[in-house]
Structure 1
Amino acid sequence: MEDKKLAPDQFVSVDISEFFGPQEHKDPDAGIVVLTQHQREIYKRLIEKAKDIAPEKYESFQQRMRYLQELAKSIANFPSLLERHNIFGGERTPQSLIDSLIEHQTEGDYTLQLPSKATLGKGFLVAKIHTFSSLSKFAKSIKEPEEVWQDFSAETNSMMFSLLAEDVYLNLIHDKSIPNDFKQELATSLLLLWEHRSDQNISDIAPTLLKIWTARRKLAPAFGTMMGTSELLLLSMQLDDQWTSFIKTKLGDTGVSQAMEEFLFGISHEQIVQLKTILRTKGIPAIGRDEVSKFLGVHVKADAGLDYRDFYSLYSLRRDNARVRARMGLPGPHKTIEDYFIQFVMEQNKEKQNNDSFAK
């Protein structure tokens, strides 16, 4: 067969299974990682202390870890998402899964559209998140140095962001404005996340997202001016170059600025518009966070704490609101600031990889 040379802007469609390959024998280390090396180290140090000073807690945590290991083993018995399988309904390959994710643009909840392994793995991750949160609280209760319980807290937050990443990937895969080749990359990342319950993309991005949330807590935004320049500059100054680049490049987009407003002030786009109108009508220049509920006439949690549950709760609320607006064609952001930021970072990484390839 005659070889055909490809132009630099041409691509060949390659089945993802060629990268992962059919595997006849399961690798015992494949699948879900119950504990990373760092997690094992910090757990071992804490549990050894618990054995002496809190035997009941020691037994409880050890049993919880056994449950997590048994759960991970059970999930590993389900067909790998990275291998070729003959299942009910025909052959399933990683590429066919990716194609299905991209092509089936159904509205509503995705739960019954997803592989069983993805759904079960999500339950495992939630159980692990709660376990590490309890370990952090335990370390604090026995007066361990701050860096010890903060270490467990950081691991808890990192896992929460992996949970968030799954939502973001699905949101972006179902975004009609995103090119198909980029959706292929997103879907591949999603399969890897489902298979191992870890994700390198989000591991790189999570520290920045946590810094944004922490910086947001330190702000005292003046509701009324809303997207105040001083608040935004203060937020950006506390973060890294990646976030600063995102702000400079994307904040001019209406959707991004509206999503930023929702994140920064902790209320929906609709409530922001309503509050602006109320304050303008009453001739009030600005109010504090503690006055938002009074002016809107409903209780809103504009002043959420640093707990991982607060972050995910408010994220999921913004996510659901954005999905409704997109489906109904309503004004306001159709994606969350996390969607926009993770998309931006992945696009930047892809561009860098392309440039590096051409430079060789």
Structure 2
Amino acid sequence: MKKLQDSLEKTAPDRLARLQERLDDVTSLAQSIARFPSLLERANTTTSTRTPMALVESIISYQEEGDTVLHMPSKAILGKGFLVAKIHTFFSMSKLAKNYALMDEKEVKEYYDETVSMMFTLMAEDVYMNLIKDKSVSIDLRRELANSLIILWEHRSDQTISDIAPVLQSVWSARRRLAPAFGSMMGTSELMMVTFQMDDQWGAFIKEKLSEPDVAQAMEEFLFGVSYEQILRLKGILRDQGVKSIGRDEVSSYLGERVKTDINLDYRDFYLLYTVRRDNARARQRLHIEGPKNTLEDHFIRFIMEKNQEKQKNDTFAKI
């Protein structure tokens, strides 16, 4: 941070002044949020007493559909806004470092990587909420997820996501370099290319879970960048017209609607496309219609947390 500020002081003092104003604003926001009662301690609210255990059970038991914003603690809502402000600030710093401070590529990347890491934390909140509502997940894991969610709300950071984020980012980067076969719509070779570039966690996930229909369908959506419903339509159209393969830029014309299939390394694109898949999955779940009811991110994070939970149990038994 200091190197960026020192460089801007020499090359773009006007930009430094604006950056300092933004940093002051973010700091003030953090201080204001910190004045709200901690979610990790017993607290007397305006109308009742809240404990972390009671909050966990409340999160697990609340199974209503729709936006839960009015049922969430104020600190959770405010913290999400703070995280978004912080993401924008760090992204601005990455651009300042590159375009004005003339810092080297490695230093610029540090700011961008921190931006992406915070984006995954933002995404984690949605994933945790999805999994907590999923009754196919064990109650023990749902309780652990609720605890993780409260910690995330309190500190706006999460160790599990910090560990998983590099894997998901690598999957996204690998996907960007691929050219899925819009024709067969199988994506098998693309999936293998992604897997070969990944670590053991991803390989184990593919090996153990890809045979499950919901995981396979979620994987297709992720790889091709279009919805399950659009994939089915596109398969039918290409089959009926006898077309073997098309490019990404032709997908929209074949479907007769605008489809964002172009991809880049912008973290905002990752989150945008994730939210589309998230909302589609939630709609299918609510309406009981065919197609993936969870996103690929849901499945992968659930897999990792279940493995971690299993390892903890085995370690405990080994000590007895």
CA distance in 1, matches of 2:309, 2:200: 17
Alignment of 1:1-360 (within 5 A): 43-142=1-100, 143-360=102-319
For residue 304 of structure 1, report the CA deviation from its aligned partner.
Answer: 2.1
For residue 113 of structure 1, report the CA deviation from its aligned partner.
Answer: 1.1
CA distance in 1, matches of 2:296, 2:87: 23
Aligned sequence identity (%): 59
How many residues are matched?
318
C-alpha contact 2:94 2:108 (8 A) present in aligned 1: yes
TM-score, structure 2 normalization: 0.98
CA distance in 2, matches of 1:302, 1:138: 29
C-alpha contact 2:187 2:223 (8 A) present in aligned 1: no
| Structure 2 unmatched runs, 5+ | none
CA distance in 2, matches of 1:130, 1:90: 36
State the Cα deviation string for residues 39-66 of structure 1 (Å, max 9, x = none): xxxx122111111211111111111111
State the Cα deviation string for residues 237-279 of structure 1 (Å, max 9, x = none): 1111110110000000000000000000000000000000001
Counterpart amino acid of 1:205?
Answer: I
CA distance in 2, matches of 1:53, 1:305: 30
3-state SS in 1 of match to 2:246: coil
For residue 138 of structure 1, report the CA deviation from its aligned partner.
Answer: 1.1
| Structure 1 unmatched runs, 5+ | 1-42
For residue 141 of structure 1, report the CA deviation from its aligned partner.
Answer: 0.6
For residue 227 of structure 1, report the CA deviation from its aligned partner.
Answer: 2.5
Structure 1, 134-143 or 73-82: larger mean CA deviation: 134-143
TM-score, structure 1 normalization: 0.87
CA distance in 2, matches of 1:194, 1:230: 39
CA distance in 1, matches of 2:145, 2:185: 33
For residue 90 of structure 1, report the CA deviation from its aligned partner.
Answer: 2.0
Q: CA RMSD in A?
A: 0.9
Structure 1, 145-154 or 251-260: larger mean CA deviation: 145-154
State the Cα deviation string for residues 105-159 of structure 1 (Å, max 9, x = none): 0100111111000000000000000001011111111332111111111000000
CA distance in 1, matches of 2:194, 2:253: 26
State the Cα deviation string for residues 154-189 of structure 1 (Å, max 9, x = none): 000000000000000000011121121111000000
CA distance in 1, matches of 2:68, 2:108: 36
C-alpha contact 2:187 2:220 (8 A) present in aligned 1: no
Larger Rg: 1
CA distance in 1, matches of 2:186, 2:75: 42
3-state SS in 2 of match to 1:341: helix
Higher helix proportion: 2
3-state SS in 1 of match to 2:222: helix
